[in-house]
Structure 1
Amino acid sequence: MRMSAILDRLEEWRDYQSGEWVARCPAHDDGKPSLWINLKTSGMVGLACRAGCAFEDIVAGMGLLPRHLFNVDAEGLVAVAEARPEPVSPFLTAGLRVWLDSLPAGEDAGPAVAYAQKRFGISPAEQGRLGLRWWPGPQPCPEWVPASFVRYPRLVVPMHDWAGVARGAQGRDLSGRCPGRWISLANPEGFEWQRYGVFPGTDPAAPWVITEGMSDPLAIVADGYNAVGVRGAALLNNDPSTLDALAAGLAGRDVRVCGDNDRSGREFTRTILAALHEREVRARRLTLPAGFKDYAVWRETR
């Protein structure tokens, strides 16, 4: 079976990065794309729903049988390696730092600064402290910046580790024309950018809130708290190294977990809480009021 034929059975599918896609899950009433799809070099297609839907239900919802997800024709698409990729190397980390430093910031990043202040309530000074940048649009860039990122102007959000080193980044579309509002960097062959970003506020003793994506952490910092944003939440169950890193960084802190206000967000919250408790980190659920899809939207309406 061809990969294009599989993707065409899904609603609102779009590229995420090389060999990976996201789409609306056919096994539940999916308000936004929460199904992650990847194509392995062996020709096998992997499926993971952020809301926790069973593999069999997802395949049935696509009108397929499990055998249809083996020996898939890649049709020239880039597939992901079978082996677990390594964390980005020091060379790639240095390259990311050079690229981020080359992007406009502060007064030279007017559109991005204005957007972040209006959308998330985060001041220009706080934006500078967190290293936010502006991508003006098409121009030469490293090969690990995907074409879908390059085409449109973006607010660029570095994803730092607990030591303050940027080991990934995401870009938020500012044009309103990109099908994917947030786009991640493409994983270099054999390596993977970090799946979470640490966003310390000005008071290290304030609560730490774990959320999905990169929007909510900015709004949380604007409210005076500390935040951790996680991308690729559907894959966390198969990524103990990320869960271990989160637990190590949050040990002894006042921790809350605040997933989006939908089925997939509630599953995200359950997954993170269970993982932290298993690693002996005390954490509590932060529940949003009904009618607000995420923390950033709730903050914007207060």
Structure 2
Amino acid sequence: MQEILDRLEEWRDYQAGEWVARCPAHDDGKPSLWINLKTSGMVGLACRAGCRFEDIVAALDLLPRHLFNVDAEGLVAVAEARPAPLSPFLTASLRVWLDSLPAGEAEAGEAVAYAQKRFGLSAAEQDRLGLRWWPGPQPCPEWVPGSFVRYPRLVVPMADFAGVARGAQGRDLTGRCPGRWISLANPEGFEWQRFGVFPGPDPGAPWVVAEGLSDPLAVVADGYNAVGVRGAALLNNDPATLDTLASALAGRDVRVCGDNDRAGREFTRTILAALHQRAVRARQLTLPAGFTDYAVWRETR
């Protein structure tokens, strides 16, 4: 497996058994290739920009047969079976862990200042969204990966539409971590939620579906409601999550805003198509030329 990773540019851990890297099949502005290793020894490749599997393999100077019976070489592999939804115990454990982390200007000043500058969120809005601070190495649950633990982070809970946290990501505050955003590792047999809901101050305001978590936080700072999706590639074979999103967004004013690059445009097309197929009226929110994503656009306004 290490030999395959070494053929990729800027690869980094995403979570146990999964990596992201620059896609070799197109001029990739930022990592958009998802790689995973199954316990069977099969390696999966998926580009958020929509590159064909055959083109990715060819660009790596490999053949499809090289992606079977791959030796894990000490790396963690992911189970073949589709993980189950989170158990009540894991949901409660996540809530306990989040509540144990510092929050507010008095205890988490570095993280609060970052979120104010980067996303435009006031301290009160951060508190309403449940944002927390990870100060650095310390004891933590086994589903917090080592790549998360090593650096101070802004911790953002990923809630469902009922407001229950079912996942979280942490944003590096030092600039030293190869992965700016790190997800929690999936517990064995389970999977954290693939999206996060971020209600704005006005429930009747439009809803914006965006990539990752940076853009949704900036959307909320502008007074709208937001849903952050961990990547359209993750949802292509996940109709249950798409059904959940469509059911919750039905009847609302919905916009989809991917990044201003090839992968982002593919994200927008994929999410729009999935919502339209499920009878949800949604429109594209197009960023001005020259701006890579919503958060950058907001920060420069």
**TM-score, structure 1 length as denominator?**
0.99
- Alpha-carbon distance, 1:241 to partner: 1.3
* Alignment match, 1:201: 200
Unaligned runs of 5+ in 1: none
SS of the residue 1:31 aligns to = coil
Structure 1 residues 99-178: aligned runs within 5 Å: 99-106=97-104, 107-178=106-177
* 1:50 corresponds to: 48
Contact 2:232–2:271 (CA under 8 A) maintained in structure 1: no
Map of 1:228 onto structure 2: 227
**Cα-to-partner distance string for 1:236-287 (whole Å, 9 max, x where unaligned):** 1111111111101101100000000000000000000000000000000000
Map 1:1-302 → 2, pairs under 5 A: 3-106=1-104, 107-302=106-301
Q: Secondary structure at the match of 1:101?
A: helix
**1:292, CA displacement in angstroms?**
0.3
Partners in 1 of 2:235 and 2:189 — Cα distance?
19
* Letter paired with 2:3: A
Task: Return the offset for 1:233.
Answer: 2.6
Shift of 1:232: 3.4
Summarize deviations over 1:147-201 as a string: whole Å, max 9, x none: 0000000000000000000000000000110000000000000100000000000
Identify unmatched segments of 5+ residues in structure 2: none
Q: Is the partner of 2:236 in helix, strand or coil?
A: helix
Structure 1 CA distance, aligned partners of 2:49 and 2:157? Answer: 26
Counterpart CA distance in 2 for 1:50 and 1:232 is 7
Query: Across the two proteins, how many residue pairs are aligned to each other?
Result: 300
> Greater CA deviation, 127-136 or 82-91?
82-91
Instruction: Give the TM-score normalised by the residue count of structure 2.
Output: 0.99
Name the amino acid aligned to 2:98: L
RMSD of aligned residue pairs (Cα, Å): 0.6
Q: Secondary structure of 2:74's partner?
A: coil
Distance 2:111 2:121 in 1: 11
The letter of the residue matching 2:159 is H
- Partner Cα separation in structure 1 for residue 109 and residue 74 of structure 2: 40
User: Retained in 1: the 8 A contact 2:119–2:299?
Assistant: yes
Instruction: After the TM superposition, list the runs of 4 or more consecutive aligned residues in structure 1 that deviate by more than 2 angstroms.
Output: none
Looking at structure 1, the residues matched to 81 and 179 of structure 2 have their Cα atoms a distance apart, in angstroms, of 27
For residues 69 and 187 of structure 2, what CA distance do their matches in structure 1 show?
Answer: 24
